[in-house]
Structure 1
Amino acid sequence: MEFCPNCGTMLQYELPYMGRQARFFCSACPYVCPIDNKIKRRQRLVRKEMEDIVIDGDKVIAPITDARCPKCGHGKAGYREFQTRSADEPATITYCCVECKNEWQG
C-alpha cells in the first residue's frame, strides 16, 4: 500500500496501457508514480529488545498478578505484556515468579 507524498491519499493502481508502464496515481492531486519491475527497497526486520522483569530482593519493578509458578508453585508473579505478532493476534505475556525468579510465558 502506497500513499501520496503530497497529500497523503492512498494511491490507486493503473494498468499498463498502449505502451505506457503501470503506475500509481493520486485521485486527489496530480501526483503520478511510474512502476518499474524492480524491487527498490527492502526493509530488514529487527528483533525488538525485551526488558527483563527486575526483582531486587523483595522489590518487584513490574505489575504483580496472581499466577502460579510452574517451578515452585508460588501464587504471585511479575509480568510484562508485549505485541510479538500482528495487531489482531493476542499479546504475549511473560511472567517472573516473585519467589524463585523463574520466567515463563503464559
Structure 2
Amino acid sequence: MQFCDECGSMMKAEGDKWVCGSCDYEELRDEAKEAAMVTTQGQEESEVIDTSEVSAEDMGPTTETRCPECGHDRAFWEMKQIRSADESETRFFTCTECEHKWREDDH
C-alpha cells in the first residue's frame, strides 16, 4: 500500500506508476520497496481450535456474568479486536455450565 506524499490519501497502482485518486499526484513504482510490503493476499485463515478435551483450569479466566441461555452466573471470557483499531474490543463469553457462547460490544 502506498500513500500520497502530497495529500496523504491511499494511492492505486496503474501500470508502472502509483496514482493518487484524490489529487492526481503520480509516482514511479519501486519493485524493491513493493517486495517488502506486507499484504493479506494469499494468507490463510486462522484455524479453529477444538477445546472439547481441555480442562476447565486451562480454559482461561472466568468472570461473574449471567448466561442468557441457562442463567448460570460464571463464564470464561476473552477480548478480541474485530473492528477497526479506533473501536473498542469485543468481549466473548462461554458459559462454564452449558458452554453457550455470546458476545458483548460497547455501544
TM-score by length of 1: 0.53
Matched, 1:49 2:46: yes
Equivalent residue, structure 2, for 1:17: none
Range with greater deviation from structure 2 (49-58 or 91-100): 49-58
AA aligned to 2:2 is E
Matched, 1:77 2:70: no
The RMSD of aligned alpha carbons is: 3.6
Query: Where in structure 1 are there 5+ consecutive unaligned residues?
Result: 4-10, 15-20, 25-32, 35-41
Range with greater deviation from structure 2 (45-54 or 57-66): 45-54
State the alpha-carbon separation in 2 of the partners of residues 86 and 58 from structure 1. 32
Aligned length: 78
- Cα deviation for residue 46 of structure 1 reads 6.9
State the alpha-carbon separation in 1 of the partners of residues 45 and 91 from structure 2. 15
- Cα deviation for residue 22 of structure 1 reads 3.8
- Counterpart selection for 1:95 from 77, 93, 96: 93
* Aligned pairs for 1:1-106 within 5 A: 2=2, 12-13=5-6, 22-24=25-27, 33=28, 44=41, 49=46, 54=51, 56=54, 58-106=56-104
Are 1:53 and 1:80, in contact at CA under 8 Å, matched by a contact in 2?
no
Are 1:54 and 1:62, in contact at CA under 8 Å, matched by a contact in 2?
no
Secondary structure of the residue aligned to 1:59 is helix
- Cα deviation for residue 48 of structure 1 reads 5.3
Query: Where in structure 2 are there 5+ consecutive unaligned residues?
Result: 8-23, 30-38
State the alpha-carbon separation in 1 of the partners of residues 46 and 77 from structure 2. 16
TM-aligned CA distance change 1:91 to 1:72, over 3 Å: same
